Amino acid sequence: MAQLQAKQDALALRIAGLDLPRAGWSAPARADALTRLSAMGLPSKRDEYWRYTDPTSLTAVAPTVAAPFAYSDEKMVFTDIDRLRLVFVDGVFDADASDDPVLAGVEITRLSASGDLHWARDLYGVLETRGQTPVQRPLAAMNTAFATDGVMIRATGKAAKPVYLVYLHKSNTSDVILHHCIKIEAGAELTILENGPAAARLNKVMEVEVAEGGKFHHIRTQGRDHERRAVTHIFARLAANALFKSFTLTANGHLTRNEAIIEFAGDDAVAHVAGAAVGDGAFHHDDTVFVTHDAERCESRQVFKKVLKNGAIGVFQGKILVKAGAQKTDGYQISQALMLDGDSQFLAKPELEIYADDVVCSHGSTSGAIDEAALFYLQSRGVPKRAAQSLLVLAFLAEAIAEIEDTSLADDIRIRMENWLTRHEGK
Amino acid sequence: MLEINNLHVKLEEEDKVILKGVTLSIKPGSVHAIMGPNGSGKSTLSYVLSGKGGYEVTEGSASLEGAELLEMEPEERAAAGLFLAFQYPVEIPGVGNMTFLRTAVNAQRKARGEDELSAGDFLKIVRTKAKALKIDADMMKRPVNVGFSGGEKKRNEILQMAMLEPKMCILDETDSGLDVDAMKLVSEGVNALRDAGRSFLVITHYQRLLDHIKPDFVHIMADGRIVKTGGPELALEVEKNGYADLLAEVV
DSSP B206: -
Alpha-carbon gap, residue B108 to B77, rounded angstroms = 10
- Please indicate whether, in this complex, the C-beta atoms of B78 and A398 are within 8 angstroms of each other: no
A226 vs B206, more confident:
A226
Report the amino acid identity of residue A96: D
Q: Which of A255, A265, A211 is nearest to A232 (CA)?
A: A255
Contact A271, A216 (CB under 8 A): no
* Domain B2-92+167-250 is found in CATH 3.40.50.300: yes
- Please indicate whether, in this complex, the C-beta atoms of B53 and A376 are within 8 angstroms of each other: yes
Most B CBs within 10 A among A303, A375, A379, hence the mutation to make, goes to A379
Residue A245 within a domain:
yes
Alpha-carbon gap, residue A357 to B236, rounded angstroms = 64
Q: Helices B97-111 and A385-401: crossing angle, nearest 10°? A: 160
Residue A70 within a domain:
yes
> What is the span of the domain harbouring residue A211?
2-371
Residue of chain B nearest A394, judged by CA positions: B94
Res. B250: pLDDT tops 80 = no
- Please indicate whether, in this complex, the C-beta atoms of B164 and A382 are within 8 angstroms of each other: yes
pLDDT at residue B37, as a whole number: 86
**How many Å lie between the alpha carbon of B43 and the closest alpha carbon of chain A?**
15
Name every chain A residue with its beta carbon within 8 A of the beta carbon of B94: 392, 394-399
Residue of chain B nearest A386, judged by CA positions: B75
pLDDT at residue B251, as a whole number: 54
- Please indicate whether, in this complex, the C-beta atoms of B90 and A374 are within 8 angstroms of each other: yes
**How many Å lie between the alpha carbon of A384 and the closest alpha carbon of chain B?**
6
> pLDDT, tens digit, for every residue of B5-61?
999 999 998 889 999 999 999 999 999 999 988 889 999 999 999 999 999 999 999
Contact A216, A206 (CB under 8 A): no
**Mean pLDDT on B124-128:** 91
Residue A147 within a domain:
yes
Q: Taking the mean position of all CA atoms in its chain, how far away is CA A73?
A: 26
Residue of chain B nearest A382, judged by CA positions: B75
Query: Which residues on neighbouring strands pair with residue A255, listed in sequence order?
Result: A229, A284
Residue A300 within a domain:
yes
Q: What percent of chain B has pLDDT over 90?
A: 58
A372 touches chain B (CB under 8 A): yes
> pLDDT, tens digit, for every residue of B53-96?
999 999 999 999 999 999 999 999 999 999 999 999 999 998 99
Alpha-carbon gap, residue B139 to B152, rounded angstroms = 9
Contact B144, A388 (CB under 8 A): no
- Please indicate whether, in this complex, the C-beta atoms of B75 and A384 are within 8 angstroms of each other: yes
- Please indicate whether, in this complex, the C-beta atoms of B100 and A378 are within 8 angstroms of each other: yes
> How many separate domains does chain A show?
1
Between chain A and chain B, the number of residue pairs with CB atoms below 8 A apart is 82
- Please indicate whether, in this complex, the C-beta atoms of A387 and B94 are within 8 angstroms of each other: no
- Please indicate whether, in this complex, the C-beta atoms of A379 and B73 are within 8 angstroms of each other: yes
- Please indicate whether, in this complex, the C-beta atoms of B89 and A377 are within 8 angstroms of each other: yes
Q: Which of A326, A250, A247, A318 is nearest to A293 (CA)?
A: A326
Averaged in consecutive runs of 10 residues, what is the pLDDT profile of chain A (427 residues)?
A: 92 95 94 98 95 97 93 83 96 97 95 88 97 96 97 97 97 97 98 97 98 98 95 98 98 96 98 97 97 98 97 97 97 96 94 96 94 95 92 93 94 91 77
Q: Which of B215, B241, B234, B225 is nearest to B27 (CA)?
A: B215
B160 touches chain A (CB under 8 A): yes
Residues B15, B19, B21, B22: what is their CA dihedral angle, to the nearest 10 degrees?
Answer: -160
A385 touches chain B (CB under 8 A): yes
Residue of chain B nearest A401, judged by CA positions: B94
- Please indicate whether, in this complex, the C-beta atoms of A395 and B90 are within 8 angstroms of each other: no
Alpha-carbon gap, residue A374 to A387, rounded angstroms = 13
Name every chain A residue with its beta carbon within 8 A of the beta carbon of B75: 379-385, 388
Q: Where are the alpha helices (DSSP H) in A138-287?
A: 138-146
DSSP string, B112-123: TTPPPPPHHHHH
Alpha-carbon gap, residue A353 to A358, rounded angstroms = 13
Name every chain B residue with its beta carbon within 8 A of the beta carbon of A398: 94
Q: Which of A133, A143, A137 is nearest to A288 (CA)?
A: A137
Most B CBs within 10 A among A376, A381, A394, hence the mutation to make, goes to A381
Residue A286 within a domain:
yes
Q: Report the run of H or E that residue B93 belongs to, with start and end.
A: strand B92-96
Confidence band of B112 (pLDDT split at 50, 70, 90): confident
- Please indicate whether, in this complex, the C-beta atoms of A378 and B93 are within 8 angstroms of each other: no
Residue of chain A nearest B93, judged by CA positions: A395
Contact B207, B120 (CB under 8 A): no
Name every chain B residue with its beta carbon within 8 A of the beta carbon of A371: 90, 92
CA atoms within 13 Å, Cβ hemisphere of A117: 22
Residue of chain A nearest B94, judged by CA positions: A395
- Please indicate whether, in this complex, the C-beta atoms of A381 and B164 are within 8 angstroms of each other: yes
Q: Which of A194, A219, A254 is nearest to A69 (CA)?
A: A254
Name every chain A residue with its beta carbon within 8 A of the beta carbon of B90: 371, 373-374, 376-377
Query: Which residues on neighbouring strands pair with residue A139, listed in sequence order?
Result: none
Name every chain A residue with its beta carbon within 8 A of the beta carbon of B77: 380
Contact A174, A200 (CB under 8 A): yes
For the beta carbon of residue A269, count every other beta carbon within 10 angstroms. 28
DSSP B166: -
A373: nearest CB among B90, B105, B111: B90
Name every chain A residue with its beta carbon within 8 A of the beta carbon of B143: 395
Alpha-carbon gap, residue B3 to B217, rounded angstroms = 15
Most B CBs within 10 A among A380, A391, A399, hence the mutation to make, goes to A380
**Mean pLDDT on B217-236:** 91
- Please indicate whether, in this complex, the C-beta atoms of B73 and A372 are within 8 angstroms of each other: no
Name every chain A residue with its beta carbon within 8 A of the beta carbon of B170: none
Alpha-carbon gap, residue A300 to A359, rounded angstroms = 12
Name every chain A residue with its beta carbon within 8 A of the beta carbon of B105: 382
The residues, any chain, with a CB within 8 Å of residue A21's CB and separated by 6 or more, are A27, A30
Residue A30 within a domain:
yes
**Positions of E strands within A255-406:** 255-264, 270-280, 284-293, 299-309, 313-322, 330-339, 345-354, 360-368
* For chain A, counts of helices (H) and of strands (E): 9, 19
Alpha carbon distances (Å) from A271 to A40, A240, B37, B219: 29, 12, 56, 62
CA atoms within 13 Å, Cβ hemisphere of B226: 20
Name every chain A residue with its beta carbon within 8 A of the beta carbon of B78: 379-382
**How many Å lie between the alpha carbon of A305 and the closest alpha carbon of chain B?**
13
A392 touches chain B (CB under 8 A): yes
Name every chain A residue with its beta carbon within 8 A of the beta carbon of B73: 379, 384-385
Name every chain A residue with its beta carbon within 8 A of the beta carbon of B141: none
In this prediction the ipTM stands at 0.94
